[in-house]
Structure 1
Amino acid sequence: MYLDSNLKIEVLSSLLGEIIKPYNEKRCGSKADILSVDEFHLYNLIGRRQAYVKEFFIDEKEFFDPKYDYDFTNLSDSSECKRGGELYERPKGWYRMALKVKGKYPDGDTWLGTDGWRSHSVPGEWPVSYHGTSHNGAKGIIKSHYKAGDGSVHGRGIYSTPDIHVAEREEYAETFTSKTTGKCYKVILQNRINPENREVCQRSDYWLVPVHGRASAEEERQIVESSIRPYGILIKEINEEGDDDDGEINVMEAVMRMTKCLLKIKGQMRSQVNQDKN
C-alpha cells in the first residue's frame, strides 16, 4: 500500500474529527500552532488537547517516522511472536504509519524493544496493544464505567486490547472514505502498554490503564505518558460494505479448522468402534 502526503493528512483528520493542514511556514505563521505527537496522543487517548491549539497543522517531518513504516497487507508469515512477554499477533492486512517517538521520553527507548524482525521479547520492552479510534464508540478513551465479561465494573480509565480483531470492530475502529483515492479505510492505533500500570480485565482481551476521576489534566498526561504510548497508526483498505478480504479469509480458515477437527473426531470414533469389535 502506498500512502502519499494527502492520504496521511486525511487519516489524521479522520482520527481527530478535525480538519488537518500540512504545516507551511509561509502560510501558517507560528510553530506553536503545530500539533505535536504528544498532543495527538492525548487527544486520541483521553479526548483532551491544549487550549492554545486553534487550528490543527502537522509538520510531517516531525510527526511521522517513515523508516519504521511497515506494510503488513500481504503478510504470510504466521510465526508466533512475543513483545514484552505477551503474545503479539502482527497486524496482517494493515499498513503501519510509524509515529516519531524515538528519543521522546525521559526513560529512553527500552519500551520499544530493539529494531528489526524478531519473534522473541527483549528485556524492558512493553507489550503491544491496539486502540479503537471511533468517535462514536471507543474513541478510546476515558469511560466513567465499563462493563465486561459477566458485567463486573472495571472502572474509569483507558482501554485497549491485545487482540487486533477486537480493536477493528465497527464500534471501535474509525472508518472514512478518502477524497484522494476514493477508497474506504479503517484506522486504529498500535501502542505499547506498561505492564506495571496495566490491569487485565475479566475479559482478558481488554486491558485497562486506570485513571481516577479526580485526576487533573497534568496528572492525566503523566499517567498516559508513563502507561500507554501509541507508536503507529494502522490503516486498512476495506470495501464499500465495510468488509475486508482478511475477514473472509479468517472465516474460511475457521471453517477449514472446524472441518479438520470434525474429521479427526470422526476418525477417532471409527477407530474406537473397530477396537470394540475386535
Structure 2
Amino acid sequence: MPAIDRAVLLEAISALTGSAVRPLAEGRGEHSPHEEELTITNFLPTVFSPSSSADPPSPCPASPALPEEAALSELSLWGASASMKELLVDMENFLDPLYDYDFRCGSGSSECSRGGEPYTRPWGWYRFALKVLDKYPDGNAWLGSYGWRSQSSPGEWPVSFHGTSIEGARGITGSHYKTDDGQCYGRGIYSTPNIDIAEGYTMFKEFRSKNGRTYEVIMQNRINPKKRVITGKEDYWLIPVPEGSSAEQEKQVVEASIRPYGILIKEV
C-alpha cells in the first residue's frame, strides 16, 4: 500500500488548523498580514485557536446530552482572529519521517501500555510523526523509548487522541458539557485514549483532497498524567483550564499538559 502523499498531509494540517497551509519553501506572500509560520511550539495553540470568534461559553448546556451529541462551545485559547490565517510550515523541521508508521496494513489484539495506561495502536491509520524530540525543557521521557514495545517506559505519558475538523468544532474541545447523567464537567481541553471516540468527532467533517479522495484526520498526543482529570464519562480525559486565566496562563497550562506528536490520516 503506497504511503500517503505529503500534499494530503498539508491538506490535513489545513483541516486541523482551519487555515490555508503551504510549505515554507514556497516563500512568503508580499501582502499577506495574516501569514504566519507554523512550528512545533505553536501547533497546539493554532489548532485550539478558532479561526473566527466563538460565543462566550455557558456554565452548562441547557439540556442534558451525551458529549457526542452536544454542541460544545469552543474554548477560545490564545485569542481568536476573524480572518482566515495563512500558515507556512517548514516541512523538514516540522516532521520526523523516521518515526512515521503505517498502521493501515496490520491489526492486533495484543495488550500494550503507554504511560501506565492501556494503549491500542491506531490500526487503519497512517501516522506522520512530528519532530518533537528535544523541543521541551523537561527532556524526552514523556515520549517513552523508541521502537515496537508492549510495556511503558519510566516517565512516559499516556496516549490520547483528539479529533478535529475544518468546520471549527475543534474535536473534543469544549467549555463545559452535561452528560446523560446530568453531571457537568469543567472548562478545558478534552481528549480520549479511545481512537474510536475521537474518530466520531470527524464524522461529516472529513476533508476532501484535491486528488478527489476523502480523508479523516486525528491528532495523536501524549497527556501529562499529573495534569489530566479522568472524568466520570468513560474514556474522556480533561486538561482543566480555569475560568479567568490569561492567554499566557492558558498557554502554559496546555503546553505542560498535552503534546501532539503525530498526525493520523485515514482514507474513507
The two structures have a TM-score, normalised by structure 1, of 0.78
Name the aligned partner's letter for residue 123 of structure 1: P
Q: What SS does the corresponding residue of 2:38 show, helix, strand or coil?
A: coil
Q: More helix per residue: 1 or 2?
A: 1
Is the 8 Å Cα contact of residues 84 and 122 (structure 1) preserved in structure 2?
Answer: yes
Percent of aligned pairs with the same amino acid: 53
Is the 8 Å Cα contact of residues 190 and 231 (structure 1) preserved in structure 2?
Answer: yes
Is the 8 Å Cα contact of residues 190 and 234 (structure 1) preserved in structure 2?
Answer: yes
How does 1:1-278 map onto structure 2 within 5 Å? 1-24=2-25, 27=28, 33-47=36-50, 48=77, 55-136=86-167, 138-140=169-171, 142-170=173-201, 174-179=205-210, 181-238=211-268
- How big is each residue's C-alpha offset from its partner over 1:163-199, in whole Å with a ceiling of 9 and x where there is no partner? 00000015568411110x2111011110000011001
Q: What SS does the corresponding residue of 2:161 show, helix, strand or coil?
A: strand
Q: Cα RMSD over matched residues?
A: 2.4
Is the 8 Å Cα contact of residues 78 and 247 (structure 2) preserved in structure 1?
Answer: no
Greater Cα offset, 84-93 or 3-12: 3-12
Q: What SS does the corresponding residue of 1:190 show, helix, strand or coil?
A: strand
Greater CA radius of gyration, 1 or 2?
Answer: 1
Is the 8 Å Cα contact of residues 36 and 86 (structure 2) preserved in structure 1?
Answer: yes
In 2, Cα distance between equivalents of 1:135 and 1:4: 20
- Structure 2: gaps (5+ residues): 51-76
Matching residue of 2:60: none
Q: In the TM superposition, what is the alpha-carbon distance from 1:38 to its structure 2 partner?
A: 2.0
The two structures have a TM-score, normalised by structure 2, of 0.80
In 2, Cα distance between equivalents of 1:33 and 1:134: 20
Q: What SS does the corresponding residue of 1:7 show, helix, strand or coil?
A: helix
Matching residue of 1:268: none
In 2, Cα distance between equivalents of 1:100 and 1:147: 37
Q: In the TM superposition, what is the alpha-carbon distance from 1:15 to its structure 2 partner?
A: 1.4
Q: What SS does the corresponding residue of 2:42 show, helix, strand or coil?
A: helix
In 1, Cα distance between equivalents of 2:117 and 2:204: 23
In 1, Cα distance between equivalents of 2:158 and 2:204: 20
Could you say which structure has the greater relative contact order, defined with CA pairs below 8 angstroms and 6 or more residues apart? 2
Are residues 137 and 28 of structure 1, via their aligned partners in 2, closer, same or farther at CA, if it must alter by over 3 Å?
Answer: closer
Is the 8 Å Cα contact of residues 82 and 119 (structure 1) preserved in structure 2?
Answer: yes
Is the 8 Å Cα contact of residues 45 and 251 (structure 2) preserved in structure 1?
Answer: yes
In 1, Cα distance between equivalents of 2:14 and 2:26: 20
